[in-house]
A = this chain, B = another copy of it.
Amino acid sequence: MKFDKELESHYLKGHEKYLRHISVDCVIFGFHQNDLKVLLLKTKYDGRWALPGGFILKNEHIDTAAQRILKERTGLDEIFLEQFYVFGDPDRSTKKINKQFLKNVGLSVTDSWMFERFITIGFYALVDFTKVTPAPDNISDACEWFSIYQLPEMILDHQHIFQEALENLRMQLNFHPVGFNLLGKKFTMPELQKLYETILGKKLDRRNFQRKILATGILKRLDETKKGVAHKAPFYYKFDLRNYKKALEAGMHSFE
């Protein structure tokens, strides 16, 4: 079978193509309205789920490798994608799981770069999940969105990697308009607050939120209100990218 030949070649000769010891794992968060999800793959020979990941070509930038993996799984590119941590515990061995894969598929490989230790570089992305058609990779049966509150059993330390990514995303809310690519060109204050609440996983005080987000100077209020709303029509806002960039350059420290 063609697939098994490919797989065998990956185990026997993959190190001629990729850097040894280094992998990339992507935590792809999907947001839409009041929902925050994460994209997972169902591994063919294990049945459990995994974060989309891959290896780094010998002449490829690590950030490009992450973009490539993201593109292959979601069809999206040029979106908010950020390194957040390197997982470098020597006990996060992939040897056992690789041997199991090979056994299940009936391949006999005694020595492989895939049995060696891997450190993995974690990246996370934030996309609108309604704009994505998830695509499994060649070692997966399925590629699906899961609610971040109802995750299936995952291989290796992928649960831990996911958790770290979530904490980093929440931290980043203070510094970056991460919702920039999720809300459309204009949005109301309640819509932006919903985005923050969904990512943070908790309710925020309406007045505090409005005061703090306006104090950052990264929003611009438009002379236009939302039509067809039962109560007081809320104003539309847009991100003021120039102020945002200025704030970033100045450091955007809350102590200044």
Given contacts A171-B175, A174-B174, A209-B255, contact A88 B117 (CB under 8 A): no
* Contact, CB under 8 Å: A63 / B88: yes
CB <8 Å contact, A171 and B253: yes
Query: A228 in the interface, Cβ–Cβ < 8 Å?
Result: no
A 184-220 contacts with B by CB, 8 A: 196, 200, 202, 204, 208-209, 212-213
Interface residues on A, range: 35 or more
Determine if A61 and B90 form an interchain contact, defined as CB atoms under 8 angstroms apart.
yes
Interface: A154 (CB within 8 A) = no
Q: Give the contacts of A124-150 with B (CB-CB under 8 A).
A: none
Contact A59 B119 (CB under 8 A): no
Interface 0/1 of A164-184, CB less than 8 Å to B: 000000110111000000000
* A251, B253: Cα distance in complex, Å: 17
A22 within 8 A of B: yes
Q: Kindly report how many copies of this chain are found in the complex they form together.
A: 2
A6 to chain B, nearest CB (A): 24
A20 near B: Cβ within 8 Å?
yes
* Residues on B with beta carbons closer than 8 Å to the beta carbon of A171: 175, 251, 253
Q: How far is the CB of A163 from chain B (nearest CB, A)?
A: 13
Q: Distance in Å from the Cβ of A223 to the closest Cβ of chain B?
A: 26
A202–chain B nearest beta-carbon distance, Å: 8
State whether B170 touches A251 (Cβ < 8 A).
yes
Please indicate which of the listed interface residues A85, A200, A253 has the most CB atoms of chain B within 10 Å of its own CB. Answer: A253
30 contacts between A and B (CB under 8 A): A19-B20, A19-B119, A20-B20, A20-B21, A21-B22, A22-B119, A56-B88, A58-B90, A59-B117, A60-B90, A61-B90, A62-B86, A62-B88, A83-B86, A86-B86, A86-B121, A170-B251, A170-B253, A171-B253, A173-B253, A174-B174, A174-B253, A174-B254, A174-B255, A200-B251, A200-B253, A200-B255, A204-B256, A212-B254, A254-B254
Can you list the 3 inter-chain pairs with the closest CB atoms, starting with the nearest?
Answer: A62-B88, A59-B90, A19-B21
